[in-house]
Structure 1
Amino acid sequence: MERLLARGLKMNHLRLAAALSREEKLSDAALRLGLAQPAASRLASEIHQILGTPLFERHGRGIKLTEAGRAFAARAQRILNEIDDADREVSEIASGVHGTVRIGSVTGPAIEMVIPAVRTARELSEGIRVDVEVATSNQLGPMVRNGALDFALGRLPADELSRNLTYCSLAKEPVSFIVGKDHPLAKIEGKVENADLFEWKWILPPQNSILARTIDGAFRDMGLPQPDRLVSTSSALMSLAFAGETDSIAAVARPVAEHFAARGQVHILRTRFSISVEEFGIITRADAQLPPAAQMICDLVKRHKTKKWAGQEKRANAMRMAL
């Protein structure tokens, strides 16, 4: 670090390098930082001199970071994230537990864990503001890495673990099959026969999604046919809307299904099999310490999971004793 500082490394160099990791043109990076392009070009030239190697190469009408440039840009983003976190943490300590917490989550845990945690956090400190981004796991990981989110609830591919992210497993995510409250299958008492499920069109996530792969694999393992899709969507809201407006079956995370079924908007089918998506967990940056407000909500998410698991175990033990 001292060598780079001695050569004149400044904050604006870090900011430009981080911006270039997101933009394909120097002019776009300059616009992101509020700089004129000549000023951005001068900073890029200075970085070249400081590092002793080019930051990027011209690529068509745009640019492409060199291997050294990508490594420097990643480090620059981490440093900027740490400075931002330090500012937030000092401010929160000085004023009590205040500040904005940025959380990402896949849909099921957002309803089942994030909402209760945020509700409790607001009771403990009215100064906390929470921004929640609901997205797929593939989108959440990069958002945590670049500092757009403090932490996220989702799934992390094994090859992501080496890229400045940590993962704390929480639980598997059960899946429910839902239909509109007036659907013929909603009138069946008891469990729906497997054959009856495949007489209808289905609303499923895109075929490359974790949920779709899980469902396809489970049906294949049970010797059941693949569902006949009416439409594919990654939106739980669209799945609920299609299920309510068409004679189709939708597959959604159980917390989502239970939330809307309790309000009489959909009906959850009782089937002769159950399906759960692979475990989700808490994703954080490996090189960062959560600010106090974010740490509070993260701890509340973990506490809610522990209490829920204990409650499920208690009910399971009571059922075993009754038998």
Structure 2
Amino acid sequence: MELRQLRYFMEVAEREHMSEAAVNLHVAQSAVSRQISNLEGELGVTLFEREGRNIKLTQIGKTFYTHTKLAMKAIDNARKQIDEYLDPERGTIKIGFPTSLSNHLLPNVISAFKDAHPNVAFHLRQGSYNFLIDSVKNDEIDVAFLGPVPKDDPEIESQILFTENILALLPISHDLAKRDSLFLTDLKNDEFVSFPKGFVLEKIIVDACRQVGFVPKVSSEGEDLDAIKGLVSAGIGVTLLPESTFHESTPRMTVKIPIKIPEVRRTVGVIKLKRKDLAPSEEIFYKFVKQFFSRIQGFK
């Protein structure tokens, strides 16, 4: 069994079309057909069956694909480890991040790292909380920034970078807009603007309200920070957001107010797969991030 055969098999399996696979592999279709035929002959099974003009994996072909995908990922990772062992300053790091950390935290970290390691490249992937955790577990991204940091997951190694307050964001016309702080129960009769169910920031809002005895009345939903802030600016409702999402400014026609009781906070950190040894450039970045925030906390 040759590595080339496995790469050809993967390409055909994913495209379900022999000629398209050949084009993407930059080889003749006959070469792809021959390698697939040789692979099937060596294994003693039929991996593909024809379905009209396309081809589909057989049941045993699907099983072989699952294992081959894992094997190819391991081989690619091993090759990356070797390349970066020879030159750790020229690796590529795959980083995941949520929308709540995209405006300030991530750009600052990457900018500072690039100043020290200008030849390291990044592949960035924004995603939801659970998507990022699953992507780390599936080895699709190397490290992910998250808030809050997941606890007690046996597959994940996590590092808390800092803890921040969750603030109330109100329209400037709200009766409580001039308060220096407020009790969360002060908002029990208000309509809330929230993220949809399944978003971690929606869970933070609901859990905080339930902690003081009420369920928030959600009148509107948005899937990103700008949408949420815009709806509050328009007077549609109130919301709760992490302090870092405001950075140096508050959206126009709104006011952010600290919550006195209960104290609503979230951890923010970085995670990686516990069983995976990071490549040299990834390890350099992982250590840099921890030191970067340790210095920031030291200044506070």
Q: TM-score range with shorter-chain normalisation? A: 0.7 to 0.9
- Alignment check: 8 A CA contact 1:104 1:151 kept: yes
Q: How many residues align?
A: 291
Q: Which amino acid aligns with 2:247?
A: E
The equivalent of 2:67 in structure 1 is 71
CA shift, 1:120, in A, is 1.9
Determine the C-alpha separation between the residues in 1 that align with 2:154 and 2:141: 16
Q: Which amino acid aligns with 2:6?
A: H
Determine the C-alpha separation between the residues in 1 that align with 2:4 and 2:182: 63
Q: Which amino acid aligns with 1:106?
A: P
The 3 A distance-change label for structure 1 pair 82 and 117 is: same
The 3 A distance-change label for structure 1 pair 178 and 80 is: same
Determine the C-alpha separation between the residues in 2 that align with 1:141 and 1:308: 26
Determine the C-alpha separation between the residues in 2 that align with 1:209 and 1:307: 31
Q: Give the secondary-structure state (helix, strand or coil) at the position aligned to 2:246.
A: helix
Whether 1:231 and 2:221 are equivalent positions in the alignment is yes
Q: 1:247 aligns with which of 236, 261, 282?
A: 236
Structure 2 segments unaligned to the other structure (5+ residues) = none
Q: Which amino acid aligns with 2:82?
A: A
The equivalent of 2:170 in structure 1 is 179
- Alignment check: 8 A CA contact 1:17 1:76 kept: no
Q: Give the secondary-structure state (helix, strand or coil) at the position aligned to 1:82.
A: helix
Determine the C-alpha separation between the residues in 2 that align with 1:310 and 1:251: 28
Q: Which has the higher helix share?
A: 1
- Alignment check: 8 A CA contact 1:215 1:275 kept: no
Determine the C-alpha separation between the residues in 1 that align with 2:27 and 2:235: 52
Q: Which amino acid aligns with 2:113?
A: A
Superposed CA RMSD in Å reads 3.9
The equivalent of 2:291 in structure 1 is 303
- Alignment check: 8 A CA contact 1:54 1:69 kept: no
Q: 2:193 aligns with which of 189, 197, 203?
A: 203
Determine the C-alpha separation between the residues in 1 that align with 2:67 and 2:142: 22
The 3 A distance-change label for structure 1 pair 243 and 200 is: same
The share of aligned pairs that are identical, in percent, is 15
Determine the C-alpha separation between the residues in 2 that align with 1:107 and 1:179: 21
The farther-off stretch of 34-43 and 110-119 is 34-43
Whether 1:116 and 2:104 are equivalent positions in the alignment is no
- Alignment check: 8 A CA contact 1:18 1:74 kept: no
Q: TM-score, normalised by structure 2?
A: 0.74
Structure 1 segments unaligned to the other structure (5+ residues) = 1-7, 313-323
C-alpha distance after superposition, 1:95-130 (max 9, x if no partner): xx3454432112344456433322222322443444
Q: Which amino acid aligns with 1:243?
A: V
- Alignment check: 8 A CA contact 2:159 2:269 kept: yes
Q: Give the secondary-structure state (helix, strand or coil) at the position aligned to 2:2.
A: coil
Q: Give the secondary-structure state (helix, strand or coil) at the position aligned to 1:152.
A: strand
Q: Give the secondary-structure state (helix, strand or coil) at the position aligned to 1:104.
A: strand
Q: Which amino acid aligns with 1:211?
A: L
Determine the C-alpha separation between the residues in 2 that align with 1:69 and 1:284: 23
Q: Which amino acid aligns with 2:262?
A: F
Determine the C-alpha separation between the residues in 2 that align with 1:185 and 1:311: 37
CA shift, 1:231, in A, is 1.8
The 3 A distance-change label for structure 1 pair 305 and 71 is: same
Q: 1:168 aligns with which of 158, 166, 188?
A: 158
Q: Give the secondary-structure state (helix, strand or coil) at the position aligned to 2:255.
A: strand
Q: Give the secondary-structure state (helix, strand or coil) at the position aligned to 1:240.
A: helix
Q: TM-score, normalised by structure 1?
A: 0.70
- Alignment check: 8 A CA contact 1:205 1:212 kept: yes
- Alignment check: 8 A CA contact 1:103 1:151 kept: yes
Q: Give the secondary-structure state (helix, strand or coil) at the position aligned to 1:267.
A: strand
CA shift, 1:207, in A, is 0.7
Q: Give the secondary-structure state (helix, strand or coil) at the position aligned to 1:274.
A: coil
The equivalent of 2:206 in structure 1 is 216
The 3 A distance-change label for structure 1 pair 220 and 140 is: same
- 5 Å-filtered alignment, 1:1-323, equals 8-14=1-7, 16-17=9-10, 20=13, 23=14, 25-26=16-17, 33=25, 39-51=31-43, 62-63=56-57, 65-87=61-83, 90=86, 92-93=87-88, 97-98=89-90, 100-111=92-103, 113-144=105-136, 149-154=141-146, 161=155, 166-170=156-160, 174-180=165-171, 182-184=172-174, 187-233=177-223, 235-261=224-250, 266-271=254-259, 272-277=261-266, 280-284=269-273, 286-292=275-281, 294-310=282-298
Determine the C-alpha separation between the residues in 2 that align with 1:11 and 1:287: 26
- Alignment check: 8 A CA contact 2:150 2:158 kept: no
